[in-house]
Amino acid sequence: MAATSGAVLNGLGSSFVCGGKRSRALLGIGAGRAGSGSVGARKLMVVAAAAQPKKSWIPAVKGGGSFVDPEWLDGSLPGDYGFDPLGLGKDPAFLKWYREAELIHGRWAMAAVVGIFVGQAWSGIPWFEAGADPGAIAPFSFGSLLGTQLILMGWVESKRWVDFFNPESQSVEWATPWSKTAENFVNATGDQGYPGGKFFDPLGFAGTLKNGAYIPDEEKLERLKLAEIKHARLAMLAMLIFYFEAGQGKTPLGALGL
């Protein structure tokens, strides 16, 4: 099974980490117009900007060395600070999958952290005891809750898994029976993991709706991508701490003396 999954991922040939879209587009500006002085100067400026070291995960280090700045982390990913000491992202296809997994886990963690604080503040029940209700008339058993969760989450995750290998394949109407139109689920930004559109960005944080069509704002989108991945990583770290606290019977609010 592992060998099969590895073979599938290795066959995904991706240019995901072969240079950022923005840097490739900028560097290509002067490729066909080398004769003009202004274009030549612009090309030199772009090359100089691209040569500047990016931020590093190591404090007080700006990057530049092979240890600090692995060659497979070129800065094209939001939140890329050159951190991959185990070399897990050497394969572009695997790196793309790891980023997808990081996004999904981070989004779940952000929702969980908010739910843990708000839930306990509202009800006074610790998050790890929230599913237990001995006083209920007909409480659900652990097995029934676990089975229901596995079925529902398994269906959603299987659709996401298929969409990863075949982007937008889950946007068709038969795959979204609750929607009368598949347009609500089409990836409006063109980036894996960032669907956008009127369904996933109804308030227009990263784009605008004009005549029913969603137009992404690239500058806002890039800024929000970076903010999201930073908050996601912080939330995942927070959840890890919450797990350790729960093992001791403590809660986040209790640890804060609240």
- The C-alpha angle 172, 175, 179, rounded to 5 degrees, equals 75
pLDDT number for residue 182: 57
In this structure, is the dihedral angle defined by the CA atoms of residues 110, 112, 113 and 115, taken in order, positive or negative? positive
Q: What's the pLDDT tens digit per position in 121-152?
A: 998 888 988 877 666 666 677 788 889 989 99
Which segments are annotated as binding site? 102, 105, 107, 228, 233
Q: What type of residue is 235?
A: A
pLDDT number for residue 17: 35
Which segments are annotated as binding site for chlorophyll b? 107
Under the banding of pLDDT at 50, 70 and 90, the label for residue 186 is low
Tokens of 26: 């900028």
Q: Name every residue whose Cβ is closer than 8 Å to that of residue 28 and which is 6 or more positions away in sequence.
A: none
Which segments are annotated as binding site for chlorophyll a? 102, 105, 228, 233
In this structure, is the dihedral angle defined by the CA atoms of residues 92, 93, 98 and 99, taken in order, positive or negative? positive
Which whole number is the average pLDDT over 54-61? 63
Q: What's the pLDDT tens digit per position in 211-254?
A: 777 888 888 888 999 999 999 999 999 999 999 999 988 999 98
pLDDT number for residue 112: 95
Q: Per-residue pLDDT for 104 more than 60?
A: yes
| For the chain, percent of residues with pLDDT exceeding 90 | 20
Q: Per-residue pLDDT for 48 more than 60?
A: no
Domains in the chain (CATH in brackets) are 18-89 (no CATH), 93-132+140-255 (1.10.3460.10)
Tokens of 28: 């290509």
Contact 215, 86 (CB under 8 A): no
Q: For all residues of the chain together, what is the average pLDDT?
A: 73
Q: Per-residue pLDDT for 57 more than 80?
A: no
pLDDT number for residue 73: 84
Tokens of 173: 């109407």
pLDDT number for residue 209: 78
257: exposed, middle or buried (Cβ count in 10 Å: 0-12, 13-18, 19+) = exposed
How many Cβ atoms sit within 10 Å of the Cβ of residue 185? 20
